[in-house]
Amino acid sequence: MSPALLLPAGLAALLALAIPVVIHIARRTESRTVDFAALRWLDPQPKPRRSLTIDERLLLAARLLLLALIAAWLATPVLWNVADDRPIVAVAPGADAATVAAATAKGDRVVWLAPGFPEHGAITPAAPYDVVSLIRQLDAELPPGAPVKLVVPATLDGVDAERPKLSRRIAWTVGAEAPARRVASPAPPVLTVRYAPEAEGAVVYFRAAATAWTTADATPAFDAGPIDRAVPGNARHLIWLSSGPVPANVETWVRNGGVILTSLEARIPVEGETVPVWRGTAGEPLAVAGRLGRGRVIRLTRALEPAAIPQLVEPGFPDALLTMLDPRPAPAHVAAVDHAPLTGAAPYEQPPLDLRPWLALLIALIFAGERWLATRRTRGVAP
């Protein structure tokens, strides 16, 4: 540990130490006059004799100490190199207990690889976390010389495309392969279509997409009707095939969280910039999307016909439409043995330990003692 002052200029406050000394010398403790006989025989104007004395030295010492501590607090005292450099074992949620026990030695500090790095004996974190980001954070918060072991499950979720690069070598321990879990595929969205008479022919493309989303033994979740038919209250995805402004009630529905895909001729406001969400074979944008309240607006950039958008009659259109209306997060699973961190990153400078909170507590205690000495009833009185 190395003590230091981040603001040495704060020690200039030590000049205030002269104040209580001067006060105690110039204004001695209260005196009282005692009458006694034969005062007439005394010289009415004696020559005064003065000696430099200081009364209540304990009170003066308390005040001097209080001022010195305040000056030290202003100078921002810190201690460098006080971080815990014990070996640490970080366990990612999902790692099996047998692997954790085998990787842990006596004296190791075992923590969860979770926000705040709680002790491993605490409750198991339930929520999935970004393991790679937590590994980088752990590397940054530990002193350079602290050994680190990481115990992870056989499969990591939510990882980056690149292996993490750390400032130290770590022991990378991979647990046993967990039993395969069957994840149910999300249900396809219910597709609601509202069309003008001149656009009725385009409904067939969306009916075909809804049919492709559905298994052979089920009925497609598809609702098509003219533009004067109300949008169901439970609808979440709307195809609007009509020119001119979108009705106010439909715009309100979008602002409350709905997703609308409009033809090129439809008009609906969009907040902020739009981004392409569907591109052609040459990279040209076929549809752009933007925000409107809590909802999304997707607008086609070309007429809704195969001559302008050949992808309408291609096998990939149902998937493209599903991605536009209900984008799913890309899977990010990787085998842990293939994602061991690399070394070579620059070491992180560890922050010092700030001593001011402890000084503040000591200052409060000394101040309470000084007040007690200054106001006590048995305070000394000079003769």
Q: Which domains does the chain have, with CATH numbers?
A: 1-29+55-80+352-383 (no CATH), 88-178+334-343 (no CATH), 191-325 (3.40.50.880)
pLDDT of 218 reads: 83
Distance CA 97, CA 296 (A): 45
pLDDT higher for 132 or 367?
367
Mean pLDDT score across all residues of the chain: 84
Single pTM value for the model: 0.46
Distance CA 195, CA 227 (A): 5
In the predicted structure, residue 301 carries a pLDDT above the cut 90: yes
Mean pLDDT (whole number) for 12-29: 78
pLDDT of 31 reads: 53
Question: With 0-12 CB in 10 A as exposed, 13-18 as middle and 19+ as buried, what is 301?
Answer: middle
In the predicted structure, residue 53 carries a pLDDT above the cut 80: no
Contact 46, 72 (CB under 8 A): no
182 three-class SS:
coil
Percent of the chain with pLDDT over 70: 84
φ/ψ of residue 364, rounded to 5: -60, -40
Residue 102 CA to chain centroid, in angstroms? Answer: 33
In the predicted structure, residue 383 carries a pLDDT above the cut 50: no
Instruction: Lowest mean pLDDT of 20-29, 156-165, 168-177, name the range.
Output: 20-29
Residue among 260, 267, 244 at smallest CA distance from 196: 244
Mean pLDDT (whole number) for 338-363: 84
